[in-house]
Amino acid sequence: MLIVVAIAVAPARAGNWPTPAAGESTSGNPEVIFTFDDGPNPRTTGKVLDLLAAHHIQAVFFMLGEHFTGEDPSRERALMKRLIGDGHVVANHSVTHAQLCAGTPEATAWQIDRARTILEREAGMPVPWFRTPYGAWCPRMVRLLDERRIQHFYWDIDPQEWRTNNAKKTQWLVSWGLKRLKGRAVVLMHDIKWATVFALPKILEWLDAENVRRAAAGEPTIRVVSGAEYAVELLGTDRVAAARELADAAVSGLAAALASTLP
């Protein structure tokens, strides 16, 4: 069977995004960050949020701006509000999921900037992280993101459930990758896919059981790193504290942490 899980352990070659996608493990032990692309979808995203809440996991959601530009995006807005309230991070995945290394530089810039405008308006907080559709890399993308001081957020474990639509295979591939993990990995899934909805509870149940087993055996457990924790790690606690003092009281501490990633 073709294994499509990629566990990065060293910087990537020139011509791709650096890996490990979120840097090295700060503890030296296995760590995982869960991320979800392409939402929100009123049919499936809420179910993903339910599952994450049940396991006390906070993730990063890379959203498409187009979901908030329809005739009535009220359900998408409700999901955004709940997602932020649950402590998840909103991130940018472009407006329409276009291949950003294939069009004109102007079109690529529009996809980045327009989606950021939409998502920051809807989230009420800065959205400084970006993930290119299809993971596309090209010098143009690097330049445009650097000019905007936007951090690209790649991945290390990709079960490609968007392609297979197979929950059982998705569960096995993610669990297989996590079981062999030595440092930190970013897991990529899609909250718009039913394969994710059906595989995620099995993955999280496996993770809980695996950590119980490891703790009993005196082995390092797999720590789940939230988006907010990763933001603090990148920024340092002093900058986060300063940003929190300036944050609107109605906005969570998570928003304050992410606020200081902006210029």
pLDDT tens-digit map of 207-248: 999 999 999 999 999 999 999 999 988 876 554 454 444 444
Does domain 31-259 sit in CATH 3.20.20.370?
yes
Mean pLDDT of 171-175: 98
Residue 234's pLDDT is 86
**Structure-block tokens of residue 231:** 């933001």
pLDDT at 80 over 80: yes
Question: To 5 degrees, how large is the angle CA 60–CA 62–CA 65?
Answer: 145
Q: State the chain's mean pLDDT as an integer.
A: 87
What pLDDT is stored for residue 106 in this prediction?
A: 97
- Judged by average pLDDT, the poorest of 91-100, 121-130, 187-196, 230-239 is 230-239
Using CA atoms of 107, 112, 118, 119 in order, give the dihedral in degrees to the nearest 10.
160
41 in Cβ contact with 191 (< 8 Å)? yes
Lowest mean pLDDT, pick from 3-7, 45-49, 163-167, 175-179: 3-7
* pLDDT for 90 beyond 70: yes
H/E/C letters for each residue in the chain? CCCCCCCCCCCCCCCCCCCCCCCCCCCCCCEEEEEEECCCCCCCHHHHHHHHHHCCCCCEEEECHHHHCCCCCHHHHHHHHHHHHCCCEEEECCCCCCCCCCCCHHHHHHHHHHHHHHHHHHHCCCCCEECCHHHCCCHHHHHHHHHHCCEECCCCECCCHHHHCCHHHHHHHHHHHHHCCCCEEEEEEECCCHHHHHHHHHHHHHHHHHHHHHHHHCCCCCEECCHHHHHHHHHCHHHHHHHHHHCCCCCCHHHHHHHCCCC
- Integer Cα distance of 209 and 215 in angstroms: 10
Q: With beta carbons less than 8 A apart as the criterion, state whether 149 and 133 touch.
A: no
Which are the catalytic amino acids?
37, 190
Instruction: Using the predicted structure, report yes or no on whether residue 66 has a pLDDT greater than 90.
Output: yes
Q: Which amino acid, residue 193? A: K
How many residues can be counted in the chain?
263
Amino acid at 114: R
Q: What is the pLDDT of residue 1?
A: 26
Query: What local confidence, expressed as pLDDT, does residue 103 receive?
Result: 87
Q: Would the pLDDT of 12 be above 50?
A: no
